[in-house]
Amino acid sequence: MLDFTYYAPTKVHFGKGKHKDVGKIIKEYGYKRIMLQYGKGSIKKSGLYEEVIKALAENDIEVVEMGGVEPNPKISFVREAVKLARERNVEMILAVGGGSVIDSCKYTAAGAVNDCDVWEFPTRKTIPSKSLPVGCILTIAAAGSEMSCSAVITNTELNMKRGFNNEVNRCKFAICNPELTYTVSEYHTACGIVDIMAHTMERYFTVCEPTDLTDRIAESILKSVVGAGRVLMENPCDYDARATVMWASSLSHNDLTGCGRENVLAVHQLEHALSGEYDYIAHGAGLAVLFPAWARYVCKYNISRFAQFARRVWDVSDTDDAAAAYGGIEKMAQFFADIKMPLRLRDFDIPSDCSARLADLCTFGKQREIKSFISLDYDRVREIFESCW
């Protein structure tokens, strides 16, 4: 087991109706003027917006609004939000939404109290040591941003999607009411499930062993999410299945599944090139295509690990390790198909010769290699993209 630091200080308020406590929760921290960010308006249609505004008003909390966060949040939006947060001296940022809204809030929070442009965070020109507090009301189980130290942003001018990992990014609190996800479409529910599984599997498929306890926790999350995912395809309003997926979302990316292991997120780096270039591709859908392709490509470099994954998560019974290992990957791909995820790059509306361009983006123009069981340089990354056309 490698040395690690585990720090997951987010206070999670989990359960039915919990979003109605948001005013009380914020008041207890003593914040009186907050910025509220949300997406394109689905929270207005569902009535959640009004409930949140009411809860805040009842606790005398002044609200500065910045609605309209886009999926794959844009740096231009964040820059505006930072300007407004500074002008209005807000004390905290409240995200009502999913990973995109939370990530937008994390950038806004860091930008508001650090004297630099927010693009300096993902490019590591500035490493912030402070940020405004961020809280969230989660409306989709997927990104795990509610407990993670990550925040992803898209720079449309440079056509780049980049992450920024820092302890200041941890939400102070997360309000997780599984009922709020009943209305998430089948497609986006499935995308979320893939994202959660990917966060867990990325940490699982690294080279440092043995980490028996961390392995088993990761396998627990995967098995539970697969089970709940199948239930949700039949009944999107199954509370326990929604709750399982929502709690798994937080645990998959709060570092619990990586304790004692390397943190690489190789497939995420492939996918960020894809959805950075083709903005309309949902992150989870991109991962559903790329994860099996990556796994098939690297499997031979660590057969025993893929065999353990196959046996413990997918109940593959092959006694031969290689057969089990490859069998597990196909079971994973089949599950993604079962929850109606795309399986090939051609399922997206993108050109058939995209691999070179994507490999170039992913390796920053052949400037970096992606760490994995083997180091993935431009040529290998391109092969992986090609293999899933």
Which parts of this chain interact with a copy of itself (CB under 8 A)?
1-9, 11-16, 18, 210-214, 216-217, 219-221, 223-225, 227-228, 239-240, 243-244, 247-248, 251, 256, 259-260
User: 49: which residues sit within 8 A by CB, 6+ positions away?
Assistant: 38, 43, 96
User: Minimum distance from CB of 249 to a copy of itself (Å)?
Assistant: 11
**Neighbouring residues of 200: CB distance < 8 A, sequence distance ≥ 6:** 218, 221, 222, 225, 248, 252, 257
Which of 285, 271, 384 has its CA nearest to residue 342? 285
For a copy of itself, the closer CB: 9 or 41:
9
Instruction: Tell me the pairing of strands 160-163 and 152-155.
Output: antiparallel
In angstroms, what CA-CA distances link 251 with 100, 141, 196, 200, 254? 18, 11, 9, 9, 5
Backbone angles phi, psi at 349, to 5 degrees: -85, 75
Give the dihedral of Cα atoms 107, 117, 80, 64; nearest 10 deg.
50
Could you tell me which residues are beta bridge partners of residue 162? 153
Kindly state the tokens that stand for 82: 């930072």
* SS3 of residue 111 by DSSP: helix
Report, in Å, the least distance between residue 189 CB and a copy of itself: 17
Taking the least distance from each CB to a copy of itself, the nearer of 158 and 213 is 213
**Closest approach of a copy of itself to the CB of residue 59, in Å:** 19
Q: How far is the CB of 308 from a copy of itself (least distance, A)?
A: 13
| In the complex, least distance from residue 147 CB atom to a copy of itself, rounded to whole angstroms | 9
Cβ 89 to a copy of itself, closest distance in Å? 26
Tell me whether residue 147 or residue 384 sits nearer to a copy of itself (CB atom).
Answer: 147
Question: Shortest gap between Cβ of 373 and a copy of itself (angstroms)?
Answer: 21
Q: Report whether 141 contacts 246 (CB < 8 A).
A: yes
Give the dihedral of Cα atoms 96, 102, 106, 108; nearest 10 deg: -60
Which CB sits closer to a copy of itself, 189 or 363?
189
Of 21 and 277, CB closest to a copy of itself: 21
Evaluate whether 248 touches 224 at the Cβ level (below 8 Å).
yes
Q: State the minimum distance, in angstroms, from the CB of residue 184 to a copy of itself.
A: 18
The smaller minimum CB distance to a copy of itself, of residues 176 and 333, is found at 176
Long-range pairs, 298-306, Cβ under 8 A, ≥24: 298/205, 298/372, 298/373, 298/374, 299/325, 299/326, 299/329, 301/373, 301/374, 302/205, 302/207, 302/373, 305/204, 305/205, 305/209, 306/205
Q: Which is nearer to a copy of itself, 6 or 364 (CB)?
A: 6
Nearer to a copy of itself, 148 or 363 (CB): 148
| The pair of three-digit structure tokens given for residue 385, joined into one six-digit string | 């993209």
